[in-house]
Amino acid sequence: MKPTTEDLARLVYLEARLIDERRFDEWYALYADDAYYWVPLVPGQADGENHTSLMYEDKLLLRLRIERFGNPRSYSLHPQVRCLHVLQQPELESADLAAGRWTMRTNELYVETQGGRKQVYAAVVRHTLSVIDGALRIRLKRVDLLDCDAPLPSIQLFP
């Protein structure tokens, strides 16, 4: 399977919609087994392994986060946290056909609300995608928050 740019963009839109609709198990299934979800701490950060990040989570940590959402003793999640992603049209930033990897770049506004509190973040999001067992999967989601190096309140869901 060689995905089209439309196929790649459709996955980016689907990933955001599943988070917004709290369909976390379906969202989780979009990720490859060796995937990472990364939110760098500083602009231009080279990697998440050798530098402190706001978030650098493998698939196991993503599963633990999802389980926390359903735990009634997760008091920081009461009242319920809701979010909305507003995405520009994803663009194909790079393609490595030999490796079967594509990177999509998307400008995004992310809004998270809980009770009377609202947070708004601007970000450039890069999804590195691969075809695994005949289906597109996310290998890496990198969220470069515009103000990542500023003091930030706790982000509960997934920008």
Counting the structural domains of the chain, the total is 1
Residue 120 within any structural domain of the chain? yes
pTM of the model: 0.94
- The answer to whether residue 150 is domain-embedded is no
Closest CA to 12 of 107, 145, 81: 107
156 within domain boundaries: no
* pLDDT on residue 7: 97
CATH assignment of the domain containing 120: 3.10.450.50
pLDDT, tens digit, for every residue of 83-121?
999 999 999 999 999 999 999 999 999 999 998 899 999
In a domain, 157, yes or no: no
| Structural domain of 48 | 5-145
